[in-house]
Amino acid sequence: MNLNLQVNDNILISIKRIGINGEGIGYYRRLAVFVEGALPGEEAEVRIVERKEGYAVGELIRIKKKSRHRVLPQYPLMLECGGCTLQILDYPEQLKEKQNMLKEAFARYYRGELDVKVFSETIGARETWGYRNKTQLPVRHDGEKVVVGMYQHGTNRLVYLDEYSLENRIVASVLKDLLDLLTKNNVSVYNPRIRRGALRNIIIRGFEETEEAQVTGVLAERDGKVLKVLKEALKIKYVKSVNYTLNPDPKTVEIITGEVINLAGEKKIKGKLGHLDFLISPSAFFQLNTKQALALYEEVKKQANLQGTENVLDLYCGIGSIGLYLADKAKEVRGIDNNPENIKDAGEFAQLNGIKNAKFYAGEILPLLQQFEKEGFVPDLVIVDPPRRGMELDILNYLRKSKIRRIIYVSCNPSTLAKNLDHINRNYEIEAVVPVDLFPNTPHVECVVLITKL
C-alpha cells in the first residue's frame, strides 16, 4: 500500500465497482479510492481530496476511458443534491450493479458457506422516474415566491427545485398548486439563518391508485395565518387531508417530532396495495414506491410458499402491510412493532379488509416473542423487516436458539443484512437472495432473503 499518497495528488485509477452511496471505487496500490461520478470499467484521472487510514476520497478530473453504459443524466440537478447518483448509468446496468452490491456485502461480512447461485437478478421497475408517493421538503422564500428544495450534497445549501422528477403525478400536482397557494397568500416562511418564520417543511403523500393526497405543514411556531392558508389546501385537486405539526428545534434532523393535528378533511387517506385497501396517517410508515412495494411483497409471498396451515410472525411490522398481504394464505398472522400508532393503524388496516386471522401487538420484540412461546404460538414462518441498522442482538440470539424453521428477511441495507445473517450462519442457511429495485437511479437496494434452519 502506498502510504505516501497525499491530498492534492493526481492519480490515474481503474474503477472496479460501485459503493453503497453510488460512488465509484478503484484501487491505487491496494488502497481503496472513492470517486463520485465514476463508473465501473472507467479509467479516471482523480485528485485526492481526503486521505484516511485505509482509504482515500478522490475528485473526478477527467475520464480517460468511458464506460459503454454511461448515459447523460436526465435530471442533472438531482446529481447536485446527491440523490439520484446512478442516473448516469443505463438502467439494465443499474440492476446488475445492485446485485453486485449485495454480493460485495456478503463477501465482506458473511463468513458462512454461500453458493453464488442463491443471488437472483434484480427485479427492476417499469417506471424509473415519478415513482415516489411521498415527499418531504424544506420550504424557503426566494424573494418572489415560496419554493422547496433539496440540500446540495455535503452542505447545508438548499438547491431550489423547479421540477419534481421523483414524485408521482399526484404528489407533483399537489406540490405545485400548494406552492402557488402559499405564494399568493404571502405566508411566513422559516429562515434558518435568523431562525425566524413559521413554515419549515411541506410533506405531501399521494396515491395514484386512489387519487387521494394528504398535505402536512411542519411549523417552527404556531402561526394563525399559515394554518388558515393550509386549510385552503383542501380545495386543491386530489387533497383529502390537511394537517400540521410543530417542530421548533432548529437542530433536529427529524421532521415530525410531535403530535400531528388534523386541520381539514379526513385524518387519513385511502390507498391500495394489490388486493388490499388501506388508510394511512401522516406519520405512518409506508413504502415510498407503491408499485415496486407490490413487487417486493409478491416476492415475499413467493418465497413464503404458504399452504394455508401456517402461523406467520411479522417482526418490525409497521402498519402490518406484509403480514396482511400474506394473511389470506396463512392460518394466523401476528405482528409486532414498538410504535403504538403503527399497531393502531395495522388493526384498522386489518378491519378495513375484513381480515380476522391477524393480530398486532405494540411493544419490544423479545418479551413478546417469549410471551407467544409460553402461549404455545409457534411460528412456521418469521418475517423480519428491520430499519437500516438491522436487527438487535437479543433478537438474533433468540432466533439462533429457536426452533423456527423458516425466516424471510426483508432488508434495505446490504451491510447490516450480511452482518445479521453471519451472526446466525451456523444455525440457518441461505436459500435465496432476491434484490428488488424500489428506488431507481439511486444506489439503494432492497432485497428478500429466505433462510432455513439447518
The per-residue DSSP string of 206-235 comes to EETTTTEEEEEEEESS--HHHHHHHHHGGG
Sheet holding 428-436, edge to edge: 358-362, 332-337, 311-315, 381-384, 406-411, 446-453, 428-436
Please give the average per-residue pLDDT across 420-448, as a whole number.
Answer: 97
Beta carbons of 204 and 154 less than 8 angstroms apart: no
Indicate whether 162 pLDDT > 90: no
CATH of segment(s) 134-273: 2.40.50.1070
Q: How confident is the model at residue 1 (pLDDT cuts 50, 70, 90)?
A: very low
pLDDT band at 159 (very low <50, low <70, confident <90, very high): confident
Rama region for 307: left / alpha / beta (φ>0; ψ in -120 to 50; rest): alpha
- Burial of 84 (C-beta count, 10 Å sphere; 0-12/13-18/19+): buried
Q: Which residue has the higher pLDDT, 53 or 179?
A: 179
Banded model confidence at residue 3, pLDDT cuts 50, 70, 90? low
Instruction: Write the pLDDT tens digit of every residue in 356-399.
Output: 999 999 999 999 999 999 999 989 999 999 999 999 999 999 99
User: What's the whole-model pTM score?
Assistant: 0.93
Could you say which DSSP state residue 364 is in? -
Range 326-355 burial, b when 16+ CB lie within 10 A, else e:
bbebbebbbbbbebeebbebbbbbbeebeb
Share of the chain above pLDDT 90, in %: 89
pLDDT score at 153: 77
pLDDT of 69 above 80: yes
DSSP β-ladder status, 158-160 and 134-141: unpaired
DSSP 412: S
Mean of all residue pLDDT scores within the chain? 95
At the topology level, CATH places domain 10-70 in OB fold (Dihydrolipoamide Acetyltransferase, E2P) (2.40.50)
Distance between alpha carbon 396 and the CA centroid of its chain, in Å? 23
Q: Which sequence positions are flagged as catalytic?
A: 412
- According to the model, what pLDDT value does residue 115 have? 92
Backbone angles phi, psi at 163, to 5 degrees: -145, 155
Q: pLDDT at position 284, please? A: 87
Q: Is the pLDDT of residue 39 over 90?
A: yes
Q: If pLDDT is split at 50, 70 and 90, which confidence band does 2 have?
A: very low
pLDDT at residue 18 greater than cutoff 80: yes
Domain extents in the chain: 10-70, 96-126+289-453, 134-273
Say yes or no: do domains 10-70 and 96-126+289-453 share a fold.
no
Report the topology of domain 96-126+289-453.
Rossmann fold (3.40.50)
